[in-house]
Structure 1
């Protein structure tokens, strides 16, 4: 998982593997993904596929299934747990049902910036979170960028704390998110991403919360008028691997996989960082986008900190120590 230990071998490996002829695949691995073709995740997935296949001389083939074609995020994780899918691009919120400790990553107003988040997740804490999925036959092989989440809705811009009260919002399927939005006075409605667009179009919910890298590529602006920059959560995307897939691979193949995912991760993070800024400007042409006043953000932050004790209890063993470490990293 640590990117640094593979960097020195990238250039040489590219030269060595680039000229080798393709061979028939002995192992086929299926990659289930929520990505669509305009997201930053899709090209990074293709990079992972290309680099992994090259490093195994074509003995391993990666088949990518975008747009939830193998099932919703939740269904894909269940398939990975049972060994029917090998890799899943998953939002952190969806994976918390398999590893409650992952809720710590999406505590509202936890991360001061993306650099801090990735420094933490690329280290021992990221390894600890990955290990917490082992009981369900999965692990996390990479943390990808998504961007800070903001609230969109059809009722009006959020400028004051009262503006969010009563809004029926689709939230992440995570206990800490539901508790947070309830505390703000909203009506949290957890649902899978595949259900989101129909729910917005039909008026089942008033709004949702996602970063620009989701709102624009998935054209959520077609069903939403207001986008308020609350920046309440930076939820990383997870590349989850089934233990059954790991068992199929030799030590050499696993090393190739780790090198390939490190390259793809570096690319995805760079692309997403660049595109989120660009997409926010495009959204300004499609929606009414507003900066939320600092005093309102501070009140939201105070509400968030007020639910931490309750949320920590849901993390299970080691939860308090983990939150203490994250708070220290974000000072």
Structure 2
């Protein structure tokens, strides 16, 4: 089953399919795989995807070979999702956030405070929940072979540390333009302010917003720490990424090559998580050395309890989320 898209988007996807088809498959016995990636060269996801396709090439004696196309040169993630569904490209590294439009079940990982911490996310995604989400994706023509880290987002602001939800009350926080994230800030008593990422630095500097939220590397690379020097480790969003493959391409592989390709993906996940941890720590040390005031949240229960109306609305709008929420919350 392929998700239905408006005619305009289908036309765009078909145009991209034509461009991609030149290297799609040279023959059934020798698959030339083309991979989509939003990130630049040197980013942990990029390095891991390149490791994945190289290992797959070696493990299958060249029956699966290919290359990664970085920096969204093949189109947006929504374009790439459509191309994977029809087999015009064969693999990709995706954040699960935007995947929710095509596969509603994966929206569960975008719920605020659904994961206790990064290790909890790993246990969930490497277990039955991850398998079930991959199965749901496969019904739409895409499957996940392994899960990558996408970072843990926390609040930072210009004036004070955040210790409890009361510290958010009345404050203006920039969030991504997503109903869940707007609801998160409002549930904590704050004023959610969606805006383009490129506008955040100046908005923090001039007081248009009091704070924003992101992971350590983004806080560092954006220079937001220069104008918002209070970083509070709420880790309210820990959204994983996936090594996704086209079901169409997958089904053209022999059982032996499927095993080899899946192992290559799992190995690349271990590499990506290691690289991400290194980059995360480098950014953390850099901004703290610059004078950023950092605090951990000793008890996140007050924050997660405040999310009850956010969860209730999400489940009302998408009942398929309920069993996933229960499984995640019951995973130790």
TM normalised by structure 2 equals 0.77
Contact 1:44/1:265 (CA < 8 Å) preserved in 2?
yes
Aligned residues: 300
Q: CA deviation at 1:309?
A: 2.4
Post-superposition CA distance 1:189-222 (Å, at most 9, x none): 668xxx63x2335649845432224433566657
The residue that corresponds to 2:37 in the other structure is 33
What's the CA shift for 1:147?
A: 2.9
Distance 2:297 2:117 in 1: 18
Please give the alpha-carbon distance, in whole angstroms, between the structure 1 residues aligned to 2:286 and 2:60.
40
Distance 1:218 1:53, change over 3 A: farther
Q: Is 1:50 paired with 2:54?
A: yes
Partners in 1 of 2:67 and 2:75 — Cα distance?
15
- In structure 2, what is the equivalent of residue 171 of structure 1? 176
Picking from 132, 138, 154, the partner of 1:134 is 138
Which residue of the other structure, out of 301, 304, 310, is the alignment partner of 1:301?
Answer: 304
Give the superposed CA RMSD.
Answer: 3.1
Q: 1:187 to 1:101 in 2, by over 3 A?
A: farther
Instruction: Determine whether 1:84 maps to 2:99.
Output: no
CA–CA distance in structure 2, aligned partners of residues 327 and 219 of structure 1: 35
SS of 2:306's equivalent?
A: helix
Cα offsets for 1:176-195 (capped at 9, x unmatched)? 3332223224454668xxx6
Q: Which of 298, 313, 318 is the matching residue for 1:315?
A: 318
Match of 2:148 in 1: 144
Match of 1:268 among 265, 269, 272: 272
| Aligned residues of 1:100 and 1:316 also touching (Cα < 8 A) | no
Kindly tell me: are residues 47 and 287 of structure 1, through their superposed partners in 2, closer, same or farther at Cα, counting changes over 3 Å? farther
Stretches of structure 2 lacking an aligned partner (at least 5 in a row): 1-26
Greater CA drift, 97-106 or 205-214:
205-214
Determine whether 1:105 maps to 2:116. no
What CA deviation, in whole Å up to 9, does each residue of 1:265-323 have, x standing for no partner?
1111222234322321112245734215547x443222124432222333333x32222
Q: Is the 8 A contact 1:45 1:264 kept in 2?
A: yes
Look up the match of 2:99: 95
Between 123-132 and 206-215, the greater mean CA deviation after superposition: 206-215
Aligned to 2:23: none
> 256-265 or 156-165: which moved more?
156-165
Deviation at 1:41, TM superposition (A): 1.6
Normalised TM-score (structure 1): 0.77
Unaligned stretches of 5+ in structure 1?
1-23
More displaced stretch, 29-38 vs 41-50: 29-38
Change (3 A) 1:311 1:283: same
Question: After the TM superposition, which residues 228-243 of structure 1 pair with which residues of structure 2 at under 5 Å, given as runs?
Answer: 228-243=232-247
Deviations 1:116-150 (A, max 9, x none): 32222222221111111234211122111123211
8 Å Cα contact 1:154-1:225 kept in structure 2: yes
* Higher mean C-alpha displacement, 257-266 vs 282-291: 282-291
**Separation in structure 2 between the aligned mates of residue 121 and residue 218 of structure 1, nearest angstrom:** 29
Distance 1:226 1:88, change over 3 A: farther
